[in-house]
Amino acid sequence: MATTPTGSVPAVNKQPMIAPSDMRVIWLLLVAAFVAILNETTMGIAIPHLNVDLGIPPELGQWLTSAFMLTMAIVIPTTGFLLQRFTTRQIFIAAMSAFTLGTLVCLLAPGFAVLLVGRVIQAGGTGIMMPLLMTTMMNVVPPQSRGRMMGRVGLVISLAPAIGPTLAGAVLDAFNWRVLFAIVLPIAIVALAMGAKWMTNLGETKNAPIDILSIVLSAFGFGGLVYGLSQFGGQGGSGEVIGIVSLVVAIVALTLFVWRQIVLQRVDDALLDLRVFRSRNYTIAVIVMAILALSMFGTLVLLPQYLQNVAGLDALQSGLILLPGSVLMGLLGPIMGRIYDARGTRTLLVPGTIMVSAALFFYSTVGEHTAWWLLVIAQTVMSVGLAMSFTPLFSASLGSLRRHLYSHGSAALNTIQQVGGAAGVALLTVVYSSFLHMGENEGLDAAAAGAPGARMAFLIAAIISLGAVALSSFVRKPADDLDGEFVGGH
């Protein structure tokens, strides 16, 4: 059942080689992704410093990360519409302009409130960029080469996590947090200028409608979910009441959102076409991705707080502990892509999820005097496991869909990944903060008070990760056919 793709993405390339013009667009998108990920990974290390410099508690400071991911979760569902309505060039320039403006706002922010606004503006641009990259990849890369290309993507975008924490640690030890944004800003400006000069339009646009009610329901649903989780574990009982109310509102809004999309997709007007979930393979892969995102993002935000507040390391040392795993994750990207093309998903995904889970269970045993080299090993094991997991998950999930659903599949995948990540950040930080407050009320210092909270938060992430392990063997590599569509597994 071949269908003609619509929107600002090209028809599938049936040749084994990628056209040079298409490859140039992919590299421009990868540069933009590098800037966005570099920005995000520097913030993880910076949060403890920001908490001290701005005089805010950890549960408030984590919103600089949670609000970023939450905004992406609200913006990303609209990208299915955006990819149809506007050209690739228009979307790229708008997204990079928003990211650049947000970075400038963060650089000049006088306090927490304006800094948070800047982070939200940054996220608006990033949320558009990632689905555009994934949808373009699926449409211009032949099925038999997708794993290899996804591996190259992994190599490029892993450079940012490798550089970001160490760069942030060195900068924060010598300067203040504003310098981080001062470093990212010129890179963002260069990426924007490159796109303005060399970005070309791929495919055709159409006058696709946008449903305002769907956007409102999406915002209340995903926003209420993450906000509700962030309210639990604070001081006093009022936070838990607000959290319960927010979760109830979120559930109602998400239910109405799903109903609205089912109605609209009958006439192809859905903001987020849920027919992508008719593919069993896509659905399982997205669930595994959400579980890994919840565990990974929550852990990567909590880990710098443990390293600096409990283990007593400075920001640079914290970044160096994260460096080897990030570098190895990037170097392994092309290898994982080739293995996926040759052997399929299970060879990578099953051991990959087991390694992630094992690293998290180790983190649940850490204390004030855990040796630094053990932390390096654990983080490296986790990074390798993530490298083995993400390439098959991205390739197998989107490859299980028909071409005209690529943009919606990418939007749904990225939305759920970001919501899972934001929920993980909120949940694990709240658990850590709860134990920290209790310990401080009992007269303990920050290290003694924070250690039990860190262990409990990591244990929660480890238990959640077992779901990914259980489902990993059910994700299959889609069959490659001449039309670039997967016709089975629906």
Note the Cα 281 to chain centre separation in Å: 21
Query: Using one digit for the tens of pLDDT, what is the confidence trace for 298-307?
Result: 887 788 888 8
Residues 201, 265: one domain? no
What digits encode the pLDDT tens for the residues 428-466? 888 888 888 888 788 787 778 888 888 999 999 999 999
In the chain, the amino acid numbered 86 is F
Instruction: Note the pLDDT tens digit of each residue in 369-427.
Output: 888 889 999 999 998 998 899 888 888 888 888 877 888 888 888 888 878 887 887 78
- Whether 490 maps to a domain, the answer reads no
Q: What is the pTM for the complete model shown?
A: 0.80
Q: Tokens standing for 437?
A: 């407050």
Beta carbons within 8 Å of 189's beta carbon, 6+ residues apart: 100
Q: Is 11 exposed, middle or buried (0-12, 13-18, 19+ CB in 10 A)?
A: middle
Co-location of 438 and 312 in the same domain: yes
Taking a C-beta distance cutoff of 8 angstroms, is the pair 406, 135 a contact? yes
- The larger pLDDT score, comparing residue 75 to residue 162, is at 75
Expressed as residue numbers, the domain containing 236 is 211-270
In this prediction, residue 490 carries a pLDDT of 39
The span from the CA of 430 to the CA of 426, in Å, is: 6
Mean pLDDT, residues 11-39: 73
Q: Are residues 430 and 351 in the same domain?
A: yes
Higher pLDDT, 133 or 97: 97
Residue 373: CB atoms within 10 A of its CB come to 9
Number of H helices, E strands in the chain: 16, 0
Same domain, 329 and 197: yes
Looking at the structure, do residues 262 and 403 belong to the same domain, yes or no?
no
Do 219 and 113 have their domain in common?
Answer: no
Asked if the structure places residue 62 within a domain, the reply is: yes
DSSP type of residue 145: G
3-state secondary structure 392-446: HHHHHHHHCCCHHHHHHHHHHHHHHHHHHHHHHHHHHHHHHHHHHHHHHHCCCCH
CATH at residue 388: 1.20.1250.20
pLDDT tens digits along 206-256: 676 778 898 899 888 877 877 777 666 544 445 678 778 888 999 999 999
Q: What is the pLDDT of residues 81-103, one digit of tens each?
A: 787 778 878 888 999 999 999 99
Nearest to 145 by CA among 2, 7, 285, 19: 19
Angle between helices 112-140 and 406-441 (to 10 degrees): 150
Residue 1 lies in a domain: no
pLDDT at 8: 45
Which pLDDT value is given to residue 158? 66
Specify whether the CB–CB gap between 378 and 361 falls below 8 A.
Answer: no
Nearest to 322 by CA among 352, 294, 302, 351: 302
Query: Both 454 and 417 in a single domain?
Result: yes
Say what the pLDDT of residue 110 is. Answer: 87
Q: Convert 12-33 to b/e letters by CB count within 10 Å (16 or more is b).
A: bbeeeebeeebeebbebbbbbb
When pLDDT is averaged across residues 146-157 and rounded to a whole number, the result is 73
Alpha carbons 196 and 90: distance in angstroms, whole number? 9
Q: What is the pLDDT of residue 7?
A: 43
Closest CA to 210 of 252, 276, 250, 261: 261
What is the distance between the alpha carbons of residues 110 and 120, in angstroms, rounded to a whole number?
Answer: 16
pLDDT of residue 232: 63
Q: Are residues 188 and 231 in the same domain?
A: no
**190, pLDDT greater than 70:** yes
User: 326 in helix, strand or coil?
Assistant: helix
Same domain, 414 and 470: yes
Give yes or no for residue 16 having a pLDDT over 60. Answer: no
Residue 262 pLDDT: 92
pLDDT exceeds 70 at position 112:
yes
Asked if residues 280 and 397 have their Cβ atoms less than 8 Å apart, the reply is no
Pairwise pLDDT comparison (160 vs 385), residue with the higher score = 385
Report the range out of 21-25, 263-267, 459-463 with the highest average pLDDT.
459-463
Q: Which candidate, 317, 444, 322, 398, places its Cα nearest to that of 150?
A: 398
pLDDT, one tens digit per residue, over 327-358 is 888 788 778 888 888 888 889 999 999 999 99
Same domain, 262 and 303: no
> How many whole angstroms separate alpha carbon 467 and alpha carbon 287?
9
More confident residue, 486 or 195: 195
CA nearest neighbour of 384 among 428, 324, 295: 324
Q: Is residue 481 part of a domain?
A: no
Residue 265, in any domain of the structure: yes
- Residue 8 maps to a domain: no
Asked whether residue 390 falls in the same domain as residue 260, the answer is no
Domain boundary (238, 270, 302) is at 270
